[in-house]
Amino acid sequence: MRVLLVEDDDRVGDAVEAVLEAGGFVVDRSRDGEDAWFKGDTEHYSAVILDLGLPGMDGLSVLRRWRAAGQRMPVLILTARGDWGERVEGIDAGADDYLPKPFRMEELQARLRALIRRSAGQASALIEIGKTILDTRRMSVSVEGVPIHLSPQEYRLVSYLMQHAGRVVSQLELTEQLYAQDFERDSNAVEVLVGRVRRKLGTDLIQTRRGFGYLVELDGV
């Protein structure tokens, strides 16, 4: 899953980025409001972590511009501002959740995972499709109860497709979600990755829709 982290405090931002990457996320960074607005308006993110006190353009203004432009990605506000009135203002501006500083990294990750699941129509941390079970909390995949070892990139692929089961996901969308912004995008990278996953999970879970992308059926196999 690709997320945008908007934080001008490098000490906080570096720590959050490291934890999220260790947790399987692909992280893009912004340190000011203008850059954050541009990235959120032109790139596809599974979620955004947004600080309010930003240079150039404050976080609430960034959020309002995203929503006015029709950007619907879930947004978690992360800020030192603890006043309840500002929390209400943030939610009214279009935020989906609010976490005041200081915070525990475990809570941040749990809230972020929940936002991404809900935005994809999934309520539980466990997603079961056919014989395959995805545990988004433990970042694990099993088939018929047998744990399957996946690389971080393979896990991100399976996680994204299973959380968006029932919808054909284009190769471009997968590339945007699986790789960092500065990744040199090879048109064959996703196809090769899907091939590796099929060798581990079997060929039935991920279906190819030629000319459109990849699909995990809701009913499973």
Does residue 192 lie within any of the structural domains?
yes
β-pairing verdict for 146-148 and 140-143: antiparallel
Question: What is the reported pTM?
Answer: 0.80
- Supply the range of the domain harboring residue 204: 126-215
Say whether both 10 and 101 belong to one domain: yes
Last residue of a domain, one of 59, 91, 121: 121
The tens digit of pLDDT for each residue in 12-37 reads 999 999 999 998 899 999 999 999 99
Name the pLDDT band for 51 (thresholds 50, 70, 90).
very high
Does residue 221 lie within any of the structural domains?
no
pLDDT of residue 82: 61
CA–CA separation, 6 vs 40, rounded Å? 10
Count the alpha carbons within 13 Å of 190 in the hemisphere toward its beta carbon.
22
Q: Which residue has the higher pLDDT, 33 or 100?
A: 33
Say whether both 138 and 112 belong to one domain: no
Assign residue 136 the CATH number of its domain.
1.10.10.10
Say whether both 149 and 74 belong to one domain: no
Last residue of a domain, one of 95, 121, 147: 121
Name the pLDDT band for 218 (thresholds 50, 70, 90).
confident
Asked if pLDDT for residue 220 goes beyond 60, the answer is no
Does residue 204 lie within any of the structural domains?
yes
Six token digits for residue 205? 């879970």
Say whether both 12 and 114 belong to one domain: yes
Per the CB < 8 A criterion, the answer to whether 206 and 73 are in contact is: no
Name the pLDDT band for 183 (thresholds 50, 70, 90).
low
Nearest to 215 by CA among 155, 169, 151, 172: 169
pLDDT of residue 48: 97
Does residue 62 lie within any of the structural domains?
yes
Number of domain units in the chain? 2
Does residue 155 lie within any of the structural domains?
yes
The tens digit of pLDDT for each residue in 169-178 reads 999 899 888 8
The tens digit of pLDDT for each residue in 147-160 reads 999 999 999 999 99
pLDDT of residue 124: 85
pLDDT, averaged across the chain: 90
Say whether both 57 and 90 belong to one domain: yes
Say whether both 116 and 138 belong to one domain: no
CA–CA separation, 216 vs 64, rounded Å? 34
The tens digit of pLDDT for each residue in 121-154 reads 887 889 999 999 999 988 999 999 999 999 999 9
The tens digit of pLDDT for each residue in 202-212 reads 999 999 999 89
Say whether both 117 and 132 belong to one domain: no
Name the pLDDT band for 112 (thresholds 50, 70, 90).
very high
Does residue 220 lie within any of the structural domains?
no
Assign residue 45 the CATH number of its domain.
3.40.50.2300
pLDDT of residue 197: 96
The tens digit of pLDDT for each residue in 55-90 reads 989 999 999 999 999 999 999 998 775 667 777 888
Say whether both 211 and 108 belong to one domain: no
Say whether both 11 and 64 belong to one domain: yes
Does residue 162 lie within any of the structural domains?
yes
Say whether both 53 and 160 belong to one domain: no
Say whether both 51 and 10 belong to one domain: yes
pLDDT of residue 24: 86
Say whether both 32 and 99 belong to one domain: yes
Name the pLDDT band for 187 (thresholds 50, 70, 90).
low
CA–CA separation, 176 vs 46, rounded Å? 10
Last residue of a domain, one of 67, 92, 121: 121
